[in-house]
Amino acid sequence: MFALAGGLSAQTFEGKIRLKITGQDMPSKRSGGDSPMFITQFLKGGLMRMEMEMDGGKVMGAQIIDPVKREMTMMMPEQKMYMVMKMPAGQPTATSAAPQSDVDFVRTGVTEKILGYKCEKIIIKHKNGEAEVWGAEGLGTYKSMSAGGPMGRRAPKSAWEGVLAEHGFFPLRMISRDKSGKEQMRMEVVSVDKQSLPDSMFAPPADYEKFAMPSIPGFGGGMPAGPGND
């Protein structure tokens, strides 16, 4: 899936980042549509909330990530339920990234201002193609939507994701291309808003019911057992 970061640093930036994602592998493409996906990301004191929107602004779900507790809370608005899953200590978090030895990170020195932030054009080459990234420094640590899924499994990162986090750049624009040069995905930040956020944004609403995920061998975070069963 896709991306997030904050401003100045993951610990000091407070506000909202909104991204627009289009590409050949989007769910809307697979269903015959052309609608882009929007991801809105909220940051405060190292905490992160991500909301995914499709179909004209409908929020499909939200995740809250606490890198200190190593917990991810997944919320399901339609069901008014939430799940809390542990993030194994060996996984990269919002403040760390696994080194990438199989990709080339090329700083071109070409710069452009995007949404008021100075960005440098970076080319990240990997075995399946390359990514053209317009990255801003000082916007925190890159965080992927692949942090986990409803079964507690971590989705594999794209080659450019880890290396970008390793070098401390946040992509305000990213274009991914395959070996032939064909564009596969485009991600663009459409707004960066520094603002005060309430603490309530980083916790499930009081009327949401906890959905237990007991551990069952063979399933990362366990199979759903049902609401209210801890």
Give me 94's structure tokens. 């919002």
Please state which of the ranges 13-22, 120-129, 162-171, 183-192 shows the lowest mean pLDDT: 162-171
**Each residue of 169-198: pLDDT tens digit?**
788 999 999 999 999 989 899 998 989 999
pTM to 2 decimals?
Answer: 0.69
User: DSSP letters of 146-174?
Assistant: GG--TTSPPPPPPHHHHHHHHHTEEEEEE
Percent of the chain's residues with pLDDT above 90: 28
CATH 3.90.78.10 fits 3-227, yes or no: no
What are the structural domain ranges in the chain? 3-227
Output DSSP code: residue 36.
P
- Decide: 4 and 144 in contact? Cβ < 8 Å: yes
Taking alpha carbons only, the member of 1, 8, 10 closest to residue 142 is 10
